[in-house]
Amino acid sequence: MKDTLDKSIEFYQDFNFSMHIKPPIQNFIDIFIADMTVSQVYLEGAFKSSTNELDFDILIPYAAYNNVVKADSIHINLETFNNVAYLNLDLDRVINKDISASNIELLSTINRNKIDFQIKIPDADIYYPMNADIQGCATINEVNEINLSFYPSFISIADSTWYISEPSQINFINDHIDISYFELATNTQSIKINGIYGKRPDESISVILKNLQLAQIKNFVTDFQYDIDGNIDGEVELSNFTQKFPNFYADLKFTNLIFNGQKIGNMEFTSVWDTIRSGIKADLQLKEIGSLGVRIPLEAHGYIYPTGKQNMDLKINFNNLNLAILQPLMSSFASNVSGIANGYLNIEGSFSAPQLYGELDLIRTRLKVDYTNVAYSLTTNIKINPNEIIIESLTINDPNANTANGYFIMRHNNFSDITLDTRLTFNKFLAVNASRDQNEYFYGKGLISGALRVQGPINSIKIEGNITTEPGTTIFIPIKSSSVVQQSDFIHFINPKDTITDTLKVETPRQIKSDKTTIAMNLRVSPSPETEINIEFDPRIGDKIMVKANGEIQVTMDTDGNLNLLGDITIVDGYYNLTMQNTINEKFNIDPGSVIKWRGNVMNGEMNITARNNVRTSLYNLVGHLDSSEVYKQKYLVSVLLHITGNFLSPEIKFAIELPEADEDTKNLVKNVLRTEQDVIQQAFSLLLFSSFMPAVGTRGMDIGSGIGTTSFEMLSNQFSNWLSQITGNVDVGFLYSPSETQISLSTQLLEGKLQISSSVGVNTYDAPYSNNSSNFVGDFDLSYKFNDNLKLRLFNKTNPYDQLIYYGPYTQGIGISYSYSFDRIKKLWNKSNDDDKKSKIRVK
């Protein structure tokens, strides 16, 4: 009785549930999937057995697999109603090394054996921007049979949208894949795939291409390094998939081929499976269509054997092949490649170790080496053997019809372990012809004679040679300042004892070295006396040194890429063009016998150069106050000398003044006036500016340069002050000149800035009303010593303006002590005073 009652009662289940699985879940996951990482899991849902309804949600904030694929916020929702299930998957973000996608949705409806699905990818980056909306239906008929049909869908990659058309189907039946009319198409292009992938020999898959643009390859192939364009039409068929390599049939036509901007022409490729020889018979033709008809500059034919030890038996014929097609492969170092090639090349052996035999004739071949900006031409024969490439007689012509002659041998072991052996001899050969815009490290025109040999493994090359420069060689080496002057242009000569941070520097050449290749170089270079070497300090204003020299320099480079020079050059002719913008532009002729030395790093050359600027002028302004003889009013030859010594990145510069044609008494008289270095500098600038001496200190000079306005003199004075301060280092030097006044001021700081000294000395050259001539002399002096931030001692002497109503003498002297304390409230000052009293009492106790 009880059993009957239990069967008549129906039990309904109606419940809600939720669960939070915290991070220790990782220990459980590692047991089953070692490379899977999950942060934590949230689950919640509801179930009603009366209606068989299920609502189930899973949220995983973060998951990763092998640290390669990572996903944020994975949300899975499953709902069932009336025996229909709705499964949705949302992912906020999925990333790996090369792919990222956001807001991915997978929507599906499961009704018995049928699954309708939709995949939405609104924002993705798979090497190129991408979005997609793919819809379809999967039907599971039996255990091993799945039919997949696509509804109208699209995939957008970069700037192209590909549509999947109906009725595109893929059926998976046991070991077979049956693809029926699967088509991807744009407005003008299409890819159709049809056939069966299976074990039977008669089962095949064909791919039909229509007007496919080769530029689209970049959208599907990663790390494709070249720009390729053109169109493909034709068909490819694969069959007999049980073989290691399936049978391959192709009939493809490539039209309007362009490779890295270089037009190639049209190409046809056909292949069929040869059952007797068990290989693929392939034929390829490159066609150029011109006004005179069709020409075939390249033709290849032969067999490819997928199995066995001998995989290739191909022959390539070249018939006036335009070498411009090689331009994209040589674009990193050469341009304007042209010429033609005739000959043949046989390829035999295995895929892993191909054997090459052949012979090529290069005719009217030209190319420009971009680094040196020189176009070379050659006509030669190349022999190709399995382990070497040989040019027995190599002649390279420069634009002036001068030649470099020699040979070239490259030996290799299946194109690895490559070694080179090349020798060239030059005769007035143009090695470089570059402008500043084309080469920032050095430029000019270089003609060389001599011999050069390059040999050794490709990853450890040795270069040796003896080079002599020829007449007509002019080389420019730019040296740039490490700071930029915005308002005025000055040449900054640096005293190595100073602490000025601005220095002259040569731009370091690019190191001729890579991670896998080293170059060791040993060259002996002998410049001819006609060779011009220009060292440019500031090309904007023309400041440079030009020398012609004799000597020998050994140029070496170690395997770490460090370039060194060893040797001396003795200058036979040259000049230094000293230029200050809008102020001075004077040429100093370099004395023969001046020397430039190198003992290592190319940037650390040592100079010992004397350069002179000659003027003819009267000595009267300079020595008239000592000897007023009329003889000193005549014109004398006066040389302003620049002595440049030391490292040319931070040279020491000194001025001197000589009278080459004067007698000893006159020379000694001038030396008595120019007693200090500042006297020499002041007079040197006067000679460079006005071609005359300025009156010596303490004399009444003449009104030289009266035609120059006051503003011009102020501009000159400011520029000289800046320039002189660079020379003297820690001492700031000011220079003031006008027709009525000459003045030099000096200022410096000592004892870590506590002691400051400034002084101005000069002379007024107008007719002053003072009866005493010494009153025209300006001698100002100011000394201050700072004990601390509050207490300072000051002494001074200053020249009074001429005003007899106010001043009773030409000078005012003074001494004083000052104390200062800053405060913003009276209360603060009062508190400070009380605190000081308390401290004083404590000290007394």
Residues 6+ apart with CB under 8 A from 771: none
Q: How many CB atoms lie within 10 A of CB 725?
A: 19
H or E stretch at 101: strand 99-111
- Residue 134 pLDDT level (bands cut at 50, 70, 90): very high
Give the span between the Cα atoms of 170 and 148, in whole angstroms: 5
b or e along 214-250 (b: 16 or more beta carbons within 10 Å of the residue's beta carbon)?
Answer: bebebbeeeeeeeebbbbbebeebbbbbeeeebbbbb
Secondary structure of residue 500 in the 3-state scheme: coil
Burial class (CB in 10 A: 0-12, 13-18, 19+), 322: buried
Out of 69-73, 394-398, 720-724, least confident range:
720-724
In angstroms, the CA 674 to CA 254 distance is: 86
Record the tokens describing residue 462, joined without a space.
């040795």
Could you tell me which residues are beta bridge partners of residue 434? 444
At 513, the pLDDT band (50, 70, 90 cuts) reads: very low
Q: What average pLDDT does this structure show over 237-263?
A: 85
Nearest CA-CA partner of 387 in 357, 408, 361: 357
Compute the chain's Rg from CA coordinates. 45
Kindly report the average pLDDT of the chain as a whole number: 79
Highest mean pLDDT: which range of 397-401, 455-459, 687-691: 397-401
Q: Give the type of residue at 57.
A: D
More confident residue, 580 or 649: 649
Residue 171 vs residue 28, higher pLDDT: 171
| pLDDT score recorded for residue 557 | 80
β-strand partners of 44: 18, 57
Task: Tally Cβ neighbours within 10 Å of residue 783.
Answer: 15
Q: What are phi and psi of 20, to 5 degrees?
A: -125, 110
In sequence order, what DSSP letters do the residues of 456-481 get, joined into one string? EETTEEEEEEEEEE-TT-EEEEEEEE
What pTM value is reported for the model? 0.61
Say how many C-beta atoms besides its own lie within 10 A of residue 451's C-beta.
14
Question: In this predicted structure, what is the pLDDT of residue 50?
Answer: 76
Average pLDDT over every residue of 818-838: 59
The number of CA neighbours under 13 Å toward the Cβ of 801 is 3
Q: How many CA atoms lie within 13 Å of 367's alpha carbon, on the beta-carbon side?
A: 25
Contacts of 10 by beta carbon, 8 Å cutoff, 6+ apart: none
What does the alpha-carbon distance between residue 471 and residue 528 come to, in Å, rounded to a whole number?
A: 7
The whole-angstrom separation of Cα 750 and Cα 739 is 35
- Contact by Cβ (8 Å): 590, 608: no
Q: How far apart are CA 534 and CA 474, in angstroms?
A: 7
Cα distance between residue 236 and residue 768, in whole Å: 107
Contact 182, 165 (CB under 8 A): no
Least confidently predicted of 358-362, 581-585, 830-834: 830-834
Q: Is the peptide bond before 167 cis (omega within 30 degrees of 0)?
A: yes
Q: Which of 443-447, 715-719, 770-774 has the lowest mean pLDDT?
A: 770-774
Note the residue count of the chain. 845
187: pLDDT strictly greater than 50? yes
- Whether 403 contacts 397, CB under 8 Å: yes
pLDDT band at 487 (very low <50, low <70, confident <90, very high): very low
Q: How confident is the model at residue 24 (pLDDT cuts 50, 70, 90)?
A: confident
Is the pLDDT at 428 greater than 90? The verdict is yes
Tokens matching residue 187: 């407005």
Whether the CB-CB separation of 482 and 538 falls below 8 Å is answered with no
